[in-house]
Amino acid sequence: MFEWTTGGYDAAVREQIRGWLAEDIGSGDITTETTIPGDSRSKAVIHVKESGIIAGLPVARLVFDVVDPSLVFEAKVQDGERVDKGTVIAIVEGSTHSLLIGERLALNLMQRLSGIATKTRMFVDALEGLPVRLVDTRKTTPGHRLLEKYAVRVGGGANHRFGLYDAVMIKDNHIKGAGGIKAAVEAARRKIPHTMKIEVETESLAQVEEALACGSDIIMLDNMAAAMMKEAVARIKASAPHVIVEASGGVSLDTIHAIASCGVDVISVGGLTYSFHALDISLDLNAKKGGESL
């Protein structure tokens, strides 16, 4: 199963969690404070209400730890597992006040991340047997990019560039602003480290030829029809087999296999992180099963 391997990201995620909790709590959880004794303790069972791929359990653990380090969080599955409706994915024990304060943020994050992981796995499964890498884009929720890109990896996909700073990606507006592909590539090449790659977005065979002529490292085929895409891949591989070919634009579960069959190396799908169904996950206090406390 997939493991939480963000290394030094824990500190950054904790800082975000503090901000998200402050947004939700404000001056205090007035309902819990006025209805439940402060010394009340409970066991909370977190379970899924529909099948899917789980992602975000380590994040939920961080949420409850930030709320109250004395809470005991026990994951019953691992990120990356496919679970059925009704599966208990975690149990949290401790102060009832603390459990209820952390409940919504923990669930919100897990639901969204599990939704992304579930959708990503669908696309990965559709590519089974084909030598193509599925990647995400920068079309993420502001403030959630680190977590959403993590969820893509949990689902079996890979990450494209993380931000504007870690790769040169010359798109249509850069081409217009620079005065053409050749001018844009040459200007970038003069200023970036020799270790950084340059990707160029193309929409026609003429642009593909121009991107090839000026030594692009990665050529994106954007919203191309299958026939044009096959021709573009053939030209690129014939003259520069080392160049990575990426397909993007309008990729769906219905079209991704045909796109992959054109011979591209990478397929980027923005919808992995901006258009997905959040998995339905719930938390119940002192849940019973078969007459016994869970």
139 is catalytic: yes
Pairing of strands 88-95, 41-48: antiparallel
Catalytic residue among 76, 139, 145, 182: 139
Catalytic residue among 201, 210, 246, 265: 201
Q: Is there a contact between 83 and 46 (Cβ–Cβ < 8 Å)?
A: no
Give the H or E element holding residue 284: strand 281-285
Give the H or E element holding residue 90: strand 88-95
Catalytic residue among 18, 41, 85, 171: 171
User: Which residues neighbour 220 within 8 Å (Cβ) at sequence distance 6 or greater?
Assistant: 169, 199, 200, 201, 202, 246, 247, 248, 268
User: Which residues neighbour 222 within 8 Å (Cβ) at sequence distance 6 or greater?
Assistant: 172, 201, 202, 203, 248, 249
Helix axes 96-126, 9-25, angle to 10 degrees: 120
Q: Give me the phi and psi of 267, to 5 degrees please.
A: -125, 125
Q: Is there a contact between 170 and 217 (Cβ–Cβ < 8 Å)?
A: no
Q: Measure the CA–CA gap between 284 and 181, rounded to whole angstroms.
A: 57
Catalytic residue among 76, 82, 104, 138: 104
113, amino acid identity: L
104 is catalytic: yes
171 is catalytic: yes
172 is catalytic: no
Q: 65: which 2 tokens?
A: 């730890």
201 is catalytic: yes
Catalytic residue among 199, 210, 222, 246: 222
- Classify residue 108 by burial, with Cβ atoms within 10 Å: 0-12, 13-18, 19+: middle
Cα dihedral 252, 257, 258, 259, rounded to 10, equals 70
Q: Which residues are catalytic?
A: 104, 139, 171, 201, 222
